[in-house]
Amino acid sequence: MTTTTITPEAKQAGDDALVFSALRASINRIDERLLQLLAERAKVATNIGLAKRVTDRPIHDAIREAEHTGQLCRLGEALGLPPRVVRDFYQVLARHGFAAQLEVRAANTSRATPPDSDGFRLARIEPGRAPTVVQVGEARIGAGLFEVIAGPCAVESEAQINLAADHARAAGVRVLRGGAFKPRTSPYEFQGHGLQGLRWLADAAHSRGMAVVTEVLDPADAQAVAEHAELLQIGARNMQNVPLLRACARTGRPVLLKRGPSASIREWLCAGEYILLEGNPNVVLCERGIRTFERETRNTLDLSSVAALRELTHLPVIVDPSHAAGRDELIPALCRAAHAVGAQGVIVEMHPCKEEALCDKRQALRPVTLRGITNELQSVAVSG
């Protein structure tokens, strides 16, 4: 019979493993309790929503939320938690709470079928047809909360997109934008890194819990892009590129369809109809400005289109103030205007070092400006 000798080192390693297992079990129990509390909170939020419906009160009380956030930050600081962490955590809770309240809103405000709409019969509003909600990662575009999508115009390098993703995630962004394939006015300008840039973008976003939106230029690339991106963008130049519309639709991924610079609203809806006809119901319309005689801005942001689309389509609508304004100092005000007119969100450009941007640096936001926009609008309900 052999005798096994347990060395002091082995005993110490075993003791360490037991301690580690016990600590891990404690963490697991705490996480389970947190989930139970979050479920209870969601039920209470639903009841608050019902009470607000009965008393005809607004879902979002900005003053109350600001006061409550301040109280929680002070309490967290007393408990040794950084105020920024408490604030970010509460904003996530607030978003879910608002969503629970919005889900109990009455949905019987049906609008009549718009006249002369046979060209977009799948996209049009009809009695009994519910508004479309498009799920993109954690974001639910069209569900009633204002979504801020952000990121650089172009993926310039692996280091640049990772830094941009850090700033976007810190601001509460849930969908990261970035151009891997860049359609530029001049063929001599930076055209993007293609599939390599797309891989950098996807790794940066997914490792931080964000989804990806990026533009597709060629029908042949649609499936490859869909393997990395949760939302496929069809840019303004390609709004009526029917083969591209169909190719993106057939991937099964949600599609972000930007309005062409000279397209009417009905032409835009007809373009969206091509996607819907392929059996893909997940279309998000994006107003990015139209071409006019005005020279103070890059394009003229047609916010009236957002209001008009509310009477024409069940599809969600967001706004791109970056390409409309072309000037970063105008973008926060245009984001507020987009929210006020009923848009479901915005998509903006943000560069971690805007002076070094390889394209569209004039309209790129600084990270601190992006955080101001998300803090103000990200958790706010969209008016019906």
The CATH code of the domain that includes 49 is 1.20.59.10
266 burial (CB, 10 Å; 0-12 / 13-18 / 19+) is middle
Q: Is 108 part of any domain?
A: no
DSSP string, 312-364: TBSS-EEE-HHHHH--GGGHHHHHHHHHHHT-SEEEEEB-TTGGG-SS-GGGP
Asked whether residue 92 falls in the same domain as residue 164, the answer is no
What pLDDT, on a 0 to 100 scale, did the predictor assign at position 32?
87
- Angle between helix axes 242-250 and 265-277 (nearest 10 degrees) is 40
**Domain-located, residue 383:** no
- The answer to whether position 271 is within a domain reads yes
80 and 160 in a single domain? The answer is no
Cβ neighbors of 116 (< 8 A, separation 6 or more) are none
Asked if residue 292 belongs to a domain, the reply is: yes
Number of structural domains the chain divides into:
2
Q: What is residue 4's predicted lDDT score, i.e. its pLDDT?
A: 54
Given 43, 72, 102, the domain boundary residue is: 102
Strand runs (DSSP E) across the chain, as ranges? Answer: 134-136, 139-141, 147-151, 175-177, 211-215, 231-234, 255-258, 283-287, 317-319, 345-349
More confident site: 42 or 265: 265
Query: What would the pLDDT profile of 270-300 be if each residue is shown by its tens digit?
Result: 999 999 999 999 999 999 999 999 999 999 9
Model confidence at 246: pLDDT above 50: yes
Range of the domain at 27: 11-102
Amino acid 207: pLDDT: 95
Residues 266 and 371 in one domain: yes
Residue 382 is assigned to a structural domain of this protein: no
Is 309 a member of any domain? yes
Q: In terms of domains, do 52 and 129 share one?
A: no
Residue 113 lies in a domain: no
Q: Write the pLDDT tens digit of every residue in 343-376.
A: 999 999 999 999 998 888 999 999 999 999 999 9
CA of residue 368 relative to chain centroid, distance: 18
Average pLDDT over residues 225-250: 97
88 and 155 co-located in one domain: no
Same domain, 68 and 95: yes
Task: Assess whether 79 and 228 both reside in one domain.
Answer: no
Whether residues 205 and 93 fall in one domain: no
Query: Among 74, 102, 130, which residue terminates a domain?
Result: 102
Confidence (pTM) = 0.75
Residue 107 lies in a domain: no
Q: Are residues 33 and 174 in the same domain?
A: no
- Mean pLDDT score of the chain, rounded to an integer? 88
pLDDT at 1: 47
CATH number assigned to the domain comprising residue 239: 3.20.20.70
Predicted confidence (pLDDT) per residue in 142-178, tens digit? 998 999 999 999 999 999 999 999 999 999 999 999 9
Domain match, 123 and 60 both: no
Residues 97 and 201 in one domain: no
Query: In this structure, are 20 and 124 located in the same domain?
Result: no
| pLDDT tens-place string over residues 78-118 | 888 888 888 878 777 777 776 666 554 444 456 788 999 99
**Domain termination residue (choose one: 102, 127, 154):** 102
pLDDT given for residue 110 in this prediction:
61
